[in-house]
Amino acid sequence: MEHSTGSSPLPADYYRRHAARVRALARDATTPAVKKHLEGVALDYERLAHRVDESGSAPADGACLGPSSPGRNDPGQSKA
C-alpha cells in the first residue's frame, strides 16, 4: 500500500480508486479468507475517503486501517 510522504493530503478519489481496485481483486479471489480480507480492505479505503470528504483532508494521524482493525480476520492468523 502506498503512503504519502508529502504534507499535502490525498484526495478522496485516491482512496476510492484503491477501493475499486481491491474490490476487483476480491471478485477474482478463489479463497474465501482472502476474499473476505480484501473486501475489508476495500471498506477501509471507503472509510478513509469518507473521512477526507467530511474533513476536507486526509486522516491527521496518517492511519490506514489494516487487518488488525477490530472485527477483521487476518488470513495469516490461525483461529484458536
Residue 56 confidence (pLDDT): 73
Residue 31 forms part of a structural domain? yes
Residue 5 forms part of a structural domain? no
Residue 10 confidence (pLDDT): 85
Tell me whether residue 42 is exposed, middle or buried, using C-beta atoms within 10 angstroms of its C-beta: 0 to 12, 13 to 18, 19 or more: buried
- Count of H helices and E strands in the chain? 2, 0
Residue 46 forms part of a structural domain? yes
Q: In whole angstroms, what is the distance from residue 9 CA to residue 12 CA?
A: 9
Could you say which residues of the chain have pLDDT below 50? 4-7, 65-80
Domains: count for the chain: 1
Residue 42 forms part of a structural domain? yes
Quick: pLDDT tens for 42-55: 999 999 999 999 98
Domain that holds residue 51: 12-55
Residue 44 forms part of a structural domain? yes
Residue 67 forms part of a structural domain? no
Residue 60 forms part of a structural domain? no
User: pTM for the full model?
Assistant: 0.62
Residue 41 forms part of a structural domain? yes
